[in-house]
Amino acid sequence: MFPQRRVSSPGISGSIGAPLYIPADAPNFDCTSLLLKDNSEIHLLLIHQTMVLGLLSAVAACPAIVGTTEAVRHGQNANARERHRGEKVNLVVELPTKNAYSPKFDGALVVLKDHKHADSSFSPSTIHPFAGYYLPYPDSQGKWKTAGWKGEGLVTTVNEENHLNWVYVDRQTHEVRHGVKSIAKSHHTGPWDCTSIDKRMTFEGWEGFIAVQEDEDDDLWALYFDLDNDGLRRKELIADKTGMGRRYRMLEVQLVRRERPKAHDMAIGERVERIRAMEDSVKREEESALDRQT
């Protein structure tokens, strides 16, 4: 398991986003690892609507209220089932079928790295574990829904300050990368989703993730998505042997969402967030009481 260390941000002026890797035998760690990089803060505004019924209308609407209560309860259960989508999780690799590569890849951790071509013996200070969750992507949710797709955008933290990047599939290379919105918006930003039982990651509704050994000497593997379902063989893609001038090792992989270990600093951070939420709630109630007095 990789420690949470600070990693230098590539900045918002870069022309391309950062890649996702699978450095296969990292001697500094107990398991194989997988990779992702930029910087934007995203805020959600939750608006709660309330309805006040008079006594007579409440009595007259009793059957409707019972039905509404059941609907609300059903909605609450559905919300509870979907709550995992907003939880920050790690990603680990699994191979669909057991083979000679299974000991190397099964359980590999997805991590962010500061350079695309890096030595497989990663220094802890140069990596940051993928810690991400689903988040509606601006301007695209309606388009995806109209196209019959289900899912949202995907973000990950890039450092200990919890700066966020959008995760996307590069339009040209089909490599999985991450970056700020100004970089991500011209590529495939989703929809990202997961399978209903095992919570395996999907993109555009299916699992087409491929690990590619980009550096044989350092045994460095990068993560791609097979957008065209052709094994990345389209002209000038990574599996185009003629166009690329060489042959790369490639493996079909699955990405499993896994709850992060409950570290001490994480527990403290959650307590601080809950305390702030309670303080904000008390402040709003006090302001509301003052408004009623006036």
pLDDT digits (tens, 9 = 90+) for 61-117: 444 445 554 555 544 555 555 666 878 888 899 999 998 988 888 888 877 775 333
Q: Beta partners for 164? A: 40, 157
Kindly tell me if the per-residue pLDDT of 246 is higher than 70: yes
% of the chain at pLDDT higher than 70: 65
Residues 6+ apart with CB under 8 A from 97: none
Q: How far apart are CA 231 and CA 252, in angstroms?
A: 9
Do the strands 33-35 and 127-129 form a parallel or antiparallel pair, or are they unpaired? unpaired
Q: What is the mean pLDDT of residues 47-53?
A: 31
Lowest model confidence (mean pLDDT) among 39-43, 61-65, 204-208 = 39-43
239 in Cβ contact with 222 (< 8 Å) = no
Residue 80 has what pLDDT?
54
* Residue at 131: amino acid letter: A
User: Which one has a higher pLDDT value, 49 or 214?
Assistant: 214
- State residue 286's pLDDT score: 80
Indicate the residue type of 119. D
The per-residue pLDDT for 263 is 74
Residue 149 has pLDDT above 80, yes or no: yes
Please state which of the ranges 22-31, 181-190, 273-282 shows the lowest mean pLDDT. 22-31
Q: What is the mean pLDDT of residues 123-130?
A: 72
Least-confidence region, from 19-23, 130-134, 155-159, 247-251: 19-23
174 phi-psi bin (left φ>0, alpha ψ -120 to 50, beta other) = left
Is the pLDDT at 224 greater than 70? The verdict is yes
**Any idea how long the chain is?**
294
The CB-side HSE value for 129 (13 A sphere, CA atoms) comes to 21
Give 204's pLDDT tier (boundaries 50, 70, 90): very high
End-to-end CA distance of the chain, in Å?
57
Q: Distance of CA 210 to CAs 22, 57, 150, 239, Å?
A: 11, 59, 22, 11
What mean pLDDT comes out for the span 183-203? 92
Question: Is residue 147's pLDDT more than 70?
Answer: yes
State the Cα–Cα distance between residues 281 and 27, nearest whole angstrom: 49
Give me Rg for the CA atoms of the chain. 23
Q: Six-digit token pair at 141?
A: 């949710």
Query: Residue 7 and residue 159: Cα distance in Å, rounded?
Result: 6
